[in-house]
A and B are shown apart, each in its own frame.
Chain A
């Protein structure tokens, strides 16, 4: 008697069911392992987008240092920028001073936009990429940019009307 093409016997059915279930479990496990690795790689590396602060916490004018991320955020009205706080000489953390940046290790002095005022550093402070997502300022900590990059934030939104009273 000839077997219909689309029919399988009991033994084959169990075999295939077990095979697919096994493959499914294996795939899920692997996906979970790789997913965990992927997120762990980000967890311990600084080269990624990081939410730094809510936009409405930033003063309308000024420079706010975030030493834990080794950056400072600028705000000039609608424009926001992120500058690296790593000295271009030997990598010390520079201080935000009244007009510009000062490196405590060897006394390099940088202007308000990171330009070199006095050595030993010879290169201006690099900048970082910035974006605005859900009212937070995100900064990409991995890549340093040679040119200045500003993020334009729209004015007239409610979140900007409260200035910096509490900051």
Chain B
């Protein structure tokens, strides 16, 4: 006998045979060919099985005829049967987003979703999120609970080139967020297309107005705009993005303002999303960032403390460049530990300049003003003494660079060479995302990084091509290609980065 029920969920007709094996919704255990009835369905008033059927809450495929499909174990487990505590993942498919008895964790998940600034990148219909990451409005129709949890737990597992940072969330918090996201489905059970459209229009109106009340001064605005969900400021630390405590002091107001609107212009490849804000809010953010800068410089602080305060987040406490926030930076922080070859080759002035003036086009800010000469000097001493383990004066005399030829190779020949020697890592367009770029850490340099290449000399690019860069995947090409090719490639890189015609400042 097949128990056949038909129900109508907000205009979506649905027919199910679940009750054939689960009479009155009872749990069942299979033993051989027999079904043994287990505990009965708990009371669910004011809901009833006659009105809602089974799959509206429990998911699964009501009309399937075998165990695997009817229990939704195929297709990323998007329709996998939910039971027990997991059942609250279905509540907000129909109910509006407000606290519900029995769905506490799902509600907590919704709150975590917004406090952790997930909505800065991900859009969810009705919540007016950002458009930087994939749209999650229907994620519940594509992924099962386990898959959603995995994606939050280790975003870079699949796909490997994902730019989503790993958030510091406990397994319980991840579970709560997955309950909320599981309820975002493509077929909404409570909104007709018309209602949806009306709501979206309302939101656009509210969004246009901006926030009415912006809290005064201090860190409040940074918290309000969710900067601190990722960034560090003072004692609060999101453990995902750079420290903002002294950022306005080091970078200046103009840089911060440009960065807020177009992060990719200052640091190509930066993963920070563009945050929607009014001019008033922008002013307050800049203001509260500057407040801290007035407190003064870090002159006369012990070098070890300095390193732990300002270097360690990116370059790591052990100096290998694998700091807490390294996976989220556009460029790999230079490794110090056992990177003797690299530091033997670069002149001392370049190290001083990198710390004092920063490195354009990367997340390395200019620390000169903040630390003073002695501070920079003591840090360099510490790095050489503790991590690189060579004398600061110990330099290797370089092989002479091939002299630039009078005439460069023709353009199509250079492009061919670029395709042959460079593009497997640096990509055909030079954006550092060639087919093999994931094999290397530090990742291949983004050759379209204008600010960076504008700051370095032709000699340095030629040096990197002919002798490689120690401590990275870049090998020496001196013996593989001719001097003309090397210099033609330097020209090509100048073109790609848009830094040709601009004389690089002398070192």
Contacts and interface: CB of A to CB of B under 8 A. Distances in A.
B149 interface: no
A137 interface: no
Interface in B451-504: none
Interface stretch (B49-57, B129-137, B344-352, B392-400): B129-137
B175 interface: no
Given A93-B131, A98-B262, A99-B448, A111 B429 contact: yes
Interface string B91-129: 000000000000000000000000000000101000000
Contacts of A106: 159, 161
Interface of B: 121, 123, 131-135, 159, 161-163, 193, 262, 264-265, 268, 427-429, 431, 433-435, 448
Contacts, number: 52
Contact of B193 (A44, A65, A104, A107): A44
Nearest to B496: A99
Nearest to B273: A95
A97 interface: yes
A107 B131 contact: no
A127 interface: no
B320 to A, nearest CB: 26
A92 interface: yes
B264 A93 contact: no
A106 B434 CA distance: 14
Nearest to B267: A98
A93 B134 CA distance: 7
B264 A104 contact: no
Nearest to B268: A98
Question: Which of A93, A104, A106 neighbours the largest number of chain B CB atoms within 10 Å of its CB?
Answer: A104
B433 A107 contact: yes
A160 interface: no
A107 B448 contact: no
Contacts of B161: 106-107
Contacts of B131: 65, 67, 93, 95
Contacts of B428: 117-118
B134 A92 contact: yes
A118 B429 contact: yes
Contacts of B264: 97-98
Contacts of A138: none
A106 B431 CA distance: 16
Contacts of A99: 268, 431, 448
Interface residues of A, number: 19
5 contacts: A98-B264, A99-B431, A104-B163, A109-B431, A117-B429
Contacts of B134: 92-93, 104-105
B240 to A, nearest CB: 16
Closest CB pairs A-B (n = 4): A98-B264, A107-B161, A117-B429, A67-B131
Contacts of B121: 104
B159 A107 contact: yes
Nearest to A104: B133
Nearest to B122: A104
A125 to B, nearest CB: 14
B162 A92 contact: no
Contacts of B265: 98
Nearest to B131: A67
A67 B448 CA distance: 26
Nearest to A105: B134
A100 B435 CA distance: 18
Contacts of A119: 435
A59 B123 CA distance: 26
Given A67-B131, A107-B163, A111-B429, 16 more contacts: A44-B193, A92-B134, A93-B131, A93-B135, A95-B132, A98-B264, A98-B265, A100-B429, A104-B121, A104-B134, A109-B431, A117-B428, A117-B429, A118-B429, A118-B435, A119-B435
Question: Which of A65, A109, A111 neighbours the largest number of chain B CB atoms within 10 Å of its CB?
Answer: A109
Interface string A127-167: 00000000000000000000000000000000000000000
Nearest to A43: B197
A99 B433 CA distance: 14
Interface in A66-88: 67
A118 B161 CA distance: 12
Contacts of B123: 67
B49 to A, nearest CB: 34
Contacts of A118: 427-429, 431, 433-435
A76 B427 CA distance: 26
A37 B427 CA distance: 51
Nearest to A118: B433
A57 to B, nearest CB: 15
A161 B264 CA distance: 28
Nearest to A92: B134
Nearest to A99: B448
A118 B429 CA distance: 8
B132 A104 contact: yes
A105 B159 CA distance: 8
Contacts of A93: 131, 134-135
B208 to A, nearest CB: 13
B93 to A, nearest CB: 22
A109 B429 contact: yes
Nearest to A111: B429
A118 B434 CA distance: 7
B431 A107 contact: no
Contacts of A95: 131-132
Interface in A100-126: 100, 104-107, 109, 111, 117-119
A147 B123 CA distance: 30
Question: Which of A99, A100, A106 neighbours the largest number of chain B CB atoms within 10 Å of its CB?
Answer: A99
A111 B265 CA distance: 16
A76 to B, nearest CB: 16
A109 B427 CA distance: 10
A107 B429 contact: no
